[in-house]
Chain A
């Protein structure tokens, strides 16, 4: 008899409707979505622009509250401090404080994760070495290239030794070498037992790193399954589920 892995993230019938000033509904961003992310797996949320991926991620992070349904992180509400203690987040853009150096940035986030000063310094050195930024540890991140800033952001997501890492478009804006490095790192973290929830437009990247994917379209789940069991490439599977290219901005041009 095998033990079912623990569900780290669960969404149960979750919807999110954005409203205007007069509380009239304007957009249904997520519609009755249910999913479960198991401990130790790399779970990919895929979908075209506006499909509800970022809204779903923000509800999981507690930055947005669902209009209906329930979000649980480690069995807790996503806004609880105990749940946030076990979470690391890499946003789509790096959003770093430009006046802090790379080392100060990591020490700042280590402090927010309540790491003692000495451990924070050790963890900072470790992570800077891991993302290859030891040489520029004392340079303000405002002067960093996009790729370097991305690596600092990734390191700061990992600084509190999270059990769940949420990555929003982790390879966005990276060159092919950096993209490969990030993918290698995510795979290594997953091998180490970390649960990873990622969104991506890059189907090839998702195919490389994800154990399981869910495809969203218009806020609804249109398909879910293990990448290894698709029987086709993720791109073909995606286009079949999302409806070829009609949902993309280029569709009118491509169809002549």
Chain B
């Protein structure tokens, strides 16, 4: 274990004595402080706060990711090229420790720079961050889209309306199509009827009058807003719904007397002229008070640091197998593909009617999207800027996967490759 700390320290010394860490910290701090002056907001403190968080911290995150990736892809490759690595490999050190210590050192450096940027965020955002609370975003309790897809499969395949090409397709392809549909499944709320959605308040404060908000997206299939009128009710809390202007509306629920509704069930009675189309998985949310902005910022930092750790681990793994330029090129291409893949997969959920080359492209995009899901699914800054809680359980999961499990796996693979690479 002592060797781990010595290699860790050596890597940090290399970063600090080459001034790389100092320059990266200075550039990040300068960017955080410059963003409010460079980017024109909407004139409100809220807008400026969003600019600082999304562009300021987002810019630093991009800078740190690219810088640490560059350092990681050179960590083992440069030492091997300079033949210094063999001097470490002939010492009584497990090869796994060499890779793990380098990952830990570079990830710590990246996390430190991100921490500096996060510490500057409240100053850059001015007073808009003071005394703020974030909210838990709760979704209706429903079967997962994957479960719903499985339940629908048999019936869908028997249906005479299902195209022949789909019936001949593989089960996994059909399930994927059905899963996409499940996310977007619309529920119709007819005039003078009531829709009901159950919510679970596990681990959050029970909703209190004036503190709980209901967020609805009233839009039709063409994504245009719908005129709406009605009443929302959650237990003894309620709100009157009347909208002619916006697609997304937030209603504070307050105790207005009257009959208490069912516990944990949000109801919406449609009193308008038209039936409403709503996707419960996307369009219906409850916002329940959570902790402070500072705690949320801290959790966002942990998620960002987790992403940087995994990127660094991937870079070190590539560095074990390839020369530095090839490793860096491969890593950047992989990052770009992994950034694009989720939107490709979302836009093209199936490959019916596609050419062979398109099918291959979709297969690659889908594989990369699946493989990079642990990272791509993390988008803390977007939620932070909307005051939505970065949930502690998500942070624990991100740390367990991105900081512990996957880096250990990549370090084991790097350790397997290291002695074989010496053969070349």
Which chain A residues have a beta carbon within 8 Å of chain B's beta carbons?
18, 58, 61-65, 79, 81-82, 84-85, 87, 89, 91, 93, 95-97, 99-100, 104, 108-109, 111-114, 156, 160
Contact = CB atoms under 8 A, between A and B. Distances in A.
Interface stretch (B86-94, B274-282, B343-351, B387-395): B86-94
A148 B83 CA distance: 19
A84 B87 contact: no
A62 B18 CA distance: 32
Nearest to B89: A63
B92 A81 contact: yes
A79 B419 contact: yes
Nearest to B91: A112
B419 A65 contact: yes
5 nearest A-B residue pairs (beta carbon): A111-B6, A85-B92, A112-B91, A99-B17, A84-B92
A177 to B, nearest CB: 26
B3 interface: yes
Most A CB contacts (10 A, CB to CB) among B6, B9, B13, B18 go to B6
A113 B9 CA distance: 15
Nearest to A80: B92
B2 interface: yes
B371 interface: no
Given A64-B423, A81-B94, A91 B2 contact: no
A62 B423 CA distance: 10
Given A84-B90, A85-B92, A100-B13, A111 B423 contact: no
A84 B14 contact: no
A104 B6 CA distance: 10
B379 interface: no
Given A63-B419, A84-B92, A114 B3 contact: yes
B10 interface: yes
A112 B3 contact: yes
B221 interface: no
26 contacts: A61-B86, A62-B90, A63-B90, A63-B422, A65-B419, A82-B92, A84-B93, A89-B87, A93-B83, A95-B82, A95-B83, A95-B84, A97-B14, A97-B84, A99-B13, A99-B18, A111-B5, A112-B3, A112-B6, A112-B91, A113-B92, A114-B2, A114-B3, A114-B92, A160-B91, A160-B92
